[in-house]
Amino acid sequence: MMFRLLFSLFLVTNLFVFIQPAWSAQEGFPGREKYPDVPFMEIDDLYNKKNRGEVLIVDIAH
């Protein structure tokens, strides 16, 4: 009985860990659908602009 419970928990956890990100990746960034007028920047564009000195990236750590 305990083995079945642990095995079931293991399966559900693995399904959530490995399947859920794949679904999210297919959907894209949800904010783009909810807020289509808000501009966005891809990470490659951000780094290219940083390297050209067009943007400043500030990382605030607590």
pLDDT tens by residue, 15-53 = 777 776 666 655 566 667 778 888 888 889 999 999 999
3-state secondary structure of 60: coil
Contact 25, 34 (CB under 8 A): no
Q: What is the pLDDT of residue 27?
A: 57
The rounded distance, in Å, linking the Cα atoms of 46 and 50 is 6
Q: What is the pLDDT of residue 34?
A: 79
Contact 19, 13 (CB under 8 A): no
Sequential DSSP letters for 4-59: HHHHHHHHHHHHHHHHHHHHHHHH--HHHHH-TTS----HHHHHHHHHTTS-----
Q: What is the pLDDT of residue 22?
A: 64
pTM of the model: 0.41
Q: What is the pLDDT of residue 46?
A: 92
